[in-house]
Amino acid sequence: MSLVSRNEKAAEEEERARLGPKAAEDERPVLGRSRGLTLRTMAPNAITAAALCSGLTGIRFAISEQWAAAAVAIIIAGILDGMDGRIARLLKAQSRFGAELDSLADSLSFGTAPAIILYLWSLQSEPRWGWFAALALAICCALRLARFNAQIDTEDQPHKSLGFLTGVPAPMGAGLAFMPFFAWSATGLDVFREPLFVAPWLLATALLMISSMATPSWTSLRPRRGIRLWVLAFVGLLFAALLVEPWWTLSAIGIGYLALLPFTLIKYARVRRRAKTA
């Protein structure tokens, strides 16, 4: 940088200091120096915003007692949440802003929205302790996401380094919280709508989300080469079952996930022993 340009820059800084911070607000970007966001970088954040809108729209359906539409809105939010991160990695558009927006959307779509929907569906008949059960779900979901954000830059993450998650993820937690509704929709039995059943279930789901137990992730699920065709056939049949009998299928998925947790703990202990010996 030449002496003349340095003097000009120093004069500009002195003038800005004399005029105060308002002078910085009046500045205009120099042509060629500003750069707008590309569609490639905006696409993952747009999907996250769509997931947020879908989750909050579920509250609107619950207020008008459209329970099935409210549950479907949360499911759509979960599908979109599973897409945004993978699309961001595919397009190489990861950003700190996107990570923060994703956590905020998850807290609202899978914590606040399910808590309000399930409260209006069942727990409002017992407004005192029923509301506390709904609050537990929303708060524990927020705490889990806060813990996840706090550990993003942490190198020592035993579960993540071995391909596992810590606690039940927020979208799956919302799905587990809706299992009484799925069972009620499939069977028509009012016992699944009773607050005495729904409230303890929400508390148990909330504890699973903030627990420190190892839970399965996509990277930890690695079917052997000999059964991959069977897995593909099972996924196809599962999708067909969702179209034909959605509530029974969603209930079965929730039960299958809960049954998978003990085997995940055993697998994590075995993988951890191998890592230590290696």
pTM above 0.85, yes or no: no
pLDDT in tens, 148-157: 888 776 666 6
Q: Name which of 12-21, 99-108, 227-236 the model is least confident about.
A: 12-21
Spell out the SS3 assignment of the chain. CCHHHHHHHHHHHHHHHHHCCHHHHCCCCCCCCCCCCCHHHHHHHHHHHHHHHHHHHHHHHHHCCCHHHHHHHHHHHHHHHHHHHHHHHHCCCCCHHHHHHHHHHHHHHHHHHHHHHHHHHCHHHCHHHHHHHHHHHHHHHHHHHHHHHHCCCCCCCHHHHCCCEECCCHHHHHHHHCHHHHHHHHHCCHHHHCHHHHHHHHHHHHHHHHCCCEECCCCCCCCCHHHHHHHHHHHHHHHHHHHHCHHHHHHHHHHHHHHHHHHHHHHHHHHHHHHHHC
Per residue in 122-154, pLDDT (tens digit) is: 999 988 889 999 999 999 999 999 988 887 766
Mean of pLDDT values over 4-27: 48
Give Cα separations from 89 to 40, 93, 94, 99, 102 (angstroms).
11, 6, 6, 12, 14
Q: Between vectors from CA 222 to CA 217 and to CA 226, what angle results, nearest 5°? A: 160
Distances 243 to 97, 238, 247, 249 between C-alpha atoms, Å: 36, 9, 10, 9
Q: Token pair of 278, please? A: 């290696």
pLDDT in tens, 31-57: 444 455 666 778 888 999 999 999 999
